[in-house]
C-alpha cells in the first residue's frame, strides 16, 4: 500500500532521513520504533505531505506522492495524528471535530464567515466516533478541559473522522496511563479487524508487541531492522544498541 524508496531529507546540516526504504502491507499494523531523533516523525511528515523529500520516491497505492500537497494526500486516504496535539484550544470537542470533518469541504470557509451549526448527520458521525474510541465527555466540553489521556482519544477521533485508507499515529499512547494504554491496544486491534491499515510510532515495547504485525526499527534516519515483534525484540543488537532495554 505504502512504499518508501531511498528517501532522504536534510534540514540544514542535519540529515533527518537517510536512504530510508520500507513497505507497508494493506490491513496490517506496523510500528515504527527507534531512539529520539531517529527520523520517525520526519517520515510521517514526508508521507503526509508536511515536508517533501530531497531524494527518493514515496508511493501510495502505486501513485507517486513525492510533492503532492497535504490535501491531495488526504483525499487519497492518508490520515494522521501529531506527536503534540493540534487543536483549536478555545473550541469544544464537537466544534473541533466539525472543523476537521469539513477541512476539505467548502463549508469550512463558510463556518469561519458565520457560525454554521453542524447538521444532524455530521453530529451523528462525531458522536459515533467519540463512542467508538470511548471518549465519554459532553461534546460541548472545551478541548483544553480534557485530561491528557482524553486528548489522546480526541486526537484519534479526529484522525478517524474522515474516510481514509491509511492511518498514521505519532506516539498515540506516549505518557498515557496503563488502563488507557490497554484501551488503545483494543481499539487498534478493532480498527484492524475493520480493515484499517495502521502505521504508528511508539516507544513502549510491550504495547508494540501486543498490537504490531511488523516492527521497523529506525536509527539515524535509516532502517536498522525490520520484522515481526518476536524477531525484532529477540535481536540482541537491536535491544542493546537502540532500545536500551531487555524486554
Ligand atoms: N523542521 C526541522 N528543522 C530542523 N531539524 C529538524 C526538523 N525536523 C526534524 N529535525 C531533526 O531531524 C532529526 C529527526 O527528527 P524526528 O524526525 O523528529 O525524530 P523522531 O521522531 O524519531 O524523534 C532530529 O535531529 C531533529 O532535530
Ligand atoms: Mg517524533
Co-location of 118 and 224 in the same domain: no
Which of 4, 41, 42 gets mutated to test ligand 1 (max ligand atoms within 8 A of its CB)?
Answer: 42
Q: With bands split at pLDDT 50, 70 and 90, how would you rate the model's confidence at 112? A: low
Determine the pLDDT at residue 247: 46
Mean per-residue pLDDT, 105-115: 56
Co-location of 109 and 179 in the same domain: no
Co-location of 155 and 171 in the same domain: no
Co-location of 211 and 232 in the same domain: yes
For residue 82, being part of any structural domain is answered with no
Q: Is 36 in the pocket of ligand 1 (CB under 6 A)?
A: yes
Q: How far apart are CA 154 and CA 152, in angstroms?
A: 5
For residue 86, being part of any structural domain is answered with no
- Ligand 1 atom closest to the Cα of residue 83 is 21
> What is the bridge-based pairing of β-strands 166-170 and 214-219?
unpaired
Last residue within a domain, chosen from 128, 147, 163: 163
Find the 107 Cα to ligand 1 centroid distance in Å. 35
Cβ distance 46 to 21 under 8 Å? Answer: no
For residue 32, being part of any structural domain is answered with yes
For residue 213, being part of any structural domain is answered with yes
Q: Is 17 in the pocket of ligand 1 (CB under 6 A)?
A: no
Identify the CATH number of the domain in which residue 176 sits: 3.40.50.300
Co-location of 139 and 183 in the same domain: no
Co-location of 120 and 237 in the same domain: no
Cβ distance 199 to 171 under 8 Å? Answer: no
CA-closest residue to ligand 1 atom 10: 16
pLDDT at 246 over 50: no
Find the 122 Cα to ligand 2 centroid distance in Å. 32
For residue 245, being part of any structural domain is answered with yes
Residue 134 belongs to domain spanning: 92-163
pLDDT at 175 over 90: yes
Co-location of 207 and 184 in the same domain: yes
Q: Is 35 in the pocket of ligand 1 (CB under 6 A)?
A: no
Co-location of 58 and 171 in the same domain: yes
pLDDT tens-digit readout, 61-103: 999 999 899 999 999 999 999 988 888 889 999 999 998 887 7
Q: What is the mean pLDDT of the chain?
A: 91
Q: Extract the C-alpha cell encoding 1.
A: 500500500
Q: Extract the C-alpha cell encoding 197.
A: 491499515
Amino acid at each position: 500500500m505504502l512504499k518508501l524508496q531511498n528517501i532522504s531529507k536534510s534540514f540544514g546540516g542535519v540529515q533527518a532521513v537517510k536512504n530510508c526504504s520500507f513497505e507497508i502491507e494493506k490491513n496490517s499494523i506496523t510500528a515504527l520504533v527507534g531512539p529520539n531523533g531517529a527520523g520517525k516523525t520526519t517520515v510521517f511528515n514526508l508521507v503526509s505531505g508536511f515536508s517533501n523529500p530531497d531524494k527518493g520516491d514515496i508511493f501510495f497505492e502505486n501513485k507517486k506522492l513525492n510533492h503532492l500537497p497535504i490535501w491531495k494526500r488526504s483525499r487519497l486516504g492518508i490520515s494522521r495524528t501529531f506527536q503534540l496535539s493540534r487543536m483549536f484550544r478555545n473550541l469544544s470537542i464537537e466544534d473541533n471535530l466539525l472543523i476537521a470533518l469539513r477541512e476539505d469541504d467548502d463549508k469550512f470557509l463558510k463556518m469561519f464567515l458565520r457560525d454554521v451549526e453542524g447538521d444532524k448527520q455530521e453530529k451523528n458521525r462525531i458522536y459515533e466516533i467519540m463512542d467508538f474510541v470511548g471518549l465519554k465527555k459532553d461534546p460541548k466540553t472545551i478541548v483544553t478541559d480534557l485530561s491528557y489521556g482524553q486528548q489522546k482519544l480526541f486526537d484519534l477521533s479526529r484522525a478517524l473522522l474522515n474516510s481514509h485508507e491509511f492511518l498514521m499515529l505519532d506516539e498515540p499512547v506516549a505518557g498515557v496511563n496503563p488502563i488507557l494504554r490497554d484501551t488503545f491496544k483494543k481499539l487498534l486491534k478493532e480498527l484492524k479487524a475493520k480493515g484499517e491499515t495502521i502505521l504508528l510510532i511508539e516507544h513502549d515495547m510491550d504495547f508494540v508487541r501486543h498490537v504490531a504485525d511488523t516492527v521497523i526499527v529506525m536509527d539515524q534516519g535509516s532502517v536498522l531492522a525490520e520484522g515481526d515483534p518476536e524477531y525484532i525484540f529477540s535481536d540482541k543488537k537491536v535491544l542493546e544498541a537502540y532500545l536500551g532495554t531487555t524486554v
